[in-house]
Amino acid sequence: MKAFLIDRYAKGVALRLGEVPEPELRESDVLVEIHAASVNLLDAKIRDGEFKLILPYRLPLVLGNDVAGLVVRVGSKVRRFKPGDEVYARPSQDRIGTFAELIAMNEADVAMKPKNLTMEEAASVPLVALTAWQVLVERARLKKGQKVLIHAGSGGVGTIAIQLAKHIGATVATTTSTANVDLVRSLGADVVVDYKKDDFEKALQGYDVVLNSLGKDTLEKSLRVLKPGGKLISISGPPDPEFARQNGSGWLLQQVMRLLSFGIRRKSKRHRVSYSFLFVTANGGQLEQITSLIEAGAVRPVMDRVFPFDKANEALAYVETGRAKGKVVISVK
């Protein structure tokens, strides 16, 4: 089958279009014919080698962390899906590879595609929606009436997180550029800080939760908007010792992550708030709950552009500019 892959870790290197064997189908797997795959900054970071310590992939590696498609075959122990089902998923981190014609995934990671979305729209959802869910619902336990700051509101995670937080009943603040103020307001943001004109840490205070997806400066400034007991949850790092333990990292790697996050953890204590790092995991059950929200109209995907399969490199380069509103998708079939 055709697939886009990397042969070595290197910053900015082009993905290679090549032929690879069809994936092996295990007894609890579904084999999915890929109709669409979305492109994430995570793909660029994996290619660049930024995650090689915590995600030890065997090269060559097929990239891609989001999929929507058609079940074509199922393993002997699969009970929830059958050939012909339209599904979507974020494959587990050790079995990525959606920039291809087929993928095999454990049925526990897969959910039925929302009926009111196209394959391209559905492919844009899993990684970012699971990230928003795992930060706001699972980790932060966000409640009605609480205040949450979601950075980069016009990005892939931000566009879904704003809607999810509003659905929960929280007051939502977000940061964005002048060009995207109307977009984030239309998604439900109550307070919009245009970072080209204002400093969010001066404009906001008394927040319960911050979802950070940006760099070190934003991370540290975010401490100042939280009230005592608040939670700063970052999806862009640095990884903390708790993540290292959950990831099954060895003692040495746990110490490395302890050092990497030492500064922000110390500053968090000083502000009487908590810091944690979240790396999104595959979860078909959570995706089913997200499907219900999408079919009920509480959450809608925001898509920027759809590229044909042979333009995967252009799609990845576009995502890396940081200018996409919502998600960028590759149409495979």
Please give the pLDDT value at position 249.
82
User: pLDDT tens digits for 272-323?
Assistant: 999 999 999 999 999 999 999 999 999 999 999 999 999 999 999 999 998 8
User: pLDDT tens digits for 161-202?
Assistant: 999 999 999 999 999 999 999 999 999 999 999 999 999 999
For residue 86, count other CB atoms closer than 10 A to its CB. Answer: 17
Instruction: Identify which of 132, 160, 165 has the alpha carbon closest to the alpha carbon of residue 148.
Output: 165
Q: How far does the chain reach from its first CA to its final CA, in angstroms? A: 13
User: pLDDT tens digits for 211-242?
Assistant: 999 998 999 999 999 999 999 999 998 998 88
Asked if 34 contacts 69 with a C-beta cutoff of 8 angstroms, the reply is yes
Instruction: Identify which of 101, 3, 22 has the alpha carbon closest to the alpha carbon of residue 60.
Output: 3
Q: At what angle do helices 126-133 and 156-168 cross, to 10 degrees?
A: 40
User: pLDDT tens digits for 35-92?
Assistant: 999 999 999 999 999 988 888 899 999 999 999 999 999 999 999 999 999 999 999 9
pLDDT(333) > 90:
no
User: pLDDT tens digits for 94-143?
Assistant: 999 999 999 999 999 999 999 999 999 999 999 999 999 999 999 999 99
Cα–Cα distance for residue pair 274/161, rounded to 1 Å: 20
Please give the pLDDT value at position 119.
98
Structure token digits, residue 312: 């995967």
Cα–Cα distance for residue pair 223/176, rounded to 1 Å: 18
In the chain the domains, ranked by start, together with CATH numbers, are: 2-123+301-331 (3.90.180.10), 127-277 (3.40.50.720)
Please give the pLDDT value at position 307.
98
